[in-house]
Amino acid sequence: MGLTLNELAKLTELSQPFLSQVERGAAQPSMRSLNRIATALKTNGPALLAGPPRPGSTTALSRHDDDSTVMNDEGASASSLIAGSARSLSEGLGHLTVTEFVGGMEEWPEPYVHEGEEAVYVVSGAVEIQVDGMSPTVLGPRDCMAYSGLSGHRWRMLEPETTVLLISST
């Protein structure tokens, strides 16, 4: 977007040195910080986790023990966050992102708006999704909801200790 790190720092309320470390791969943001960065860049966290497309790449492989997991903020209010994580399952593919979320937010975050479409699939537990113009919808295991990324949307986990989500976006 042509922003300097100082401009991005102001938009995200994160420090310029921290953003510089993230950009160089010397630090990994928490899920909360990742969402702040994504919102400022008018994209979503899964797209940032997936990274830029690798030219000529036609496959992505993600192992359960890789080190690309982003964790919830340490020291966050126990009432709003349960130890949770997110990791890209489609790193480098480009137009498709698949992200696994394990545990996490019990309270509503600010709505996300981004290009493309998004689908949320509940592997286990329960999640509540709110899309602009609709009442919140509860999804349980094996339920899926898809919507336009241009519609403001947000989700929270109703059973954060047991919830696993797959979120795919284009």
Q: What is the CATH number of domain 52-169?
A: 2.60.120.10
d(CA 40, CA 63): 30
| Residue 111 scores a pLDDT above 90 | no
| Residue 63 scores a pLDDT above 90 | no
User: How does strand 164-169 pair with strand 85-88?
Assistant: unpaired
What is the pLDDT, as a whole number, of residue 33? 82
Higher pLDDT, 4 or 75: 4
Higher pLDDT, 42 or 119: 119
What is the pLDDT, as a whole number, of residue 51? 67
- Per DSSP (E only), the strands in the chain are 70-71, 85-88, 97-102, 117-124, 127-131, 137-139, 144-148, 153-157, 164-169
| Residue 93 scores a pLDDT above 90 | no
Contact 127, 106 (CB under 8 A): no
Residue closest to 20 by CA, chosen among 34, 8, 36, 2: 8
Residue closest to 104 by CA, chosen among 132, 78, 123: 78
Tokens of 17: 């040195």
What are the tens digits of pLDDT across the range 2-59? 889 999 999 999 999 999 988 887 887 777 787 788 888 877 777 777 666 667 666 6
The mean per-residue pLDDT over the stretch 156-161 comes to: 89
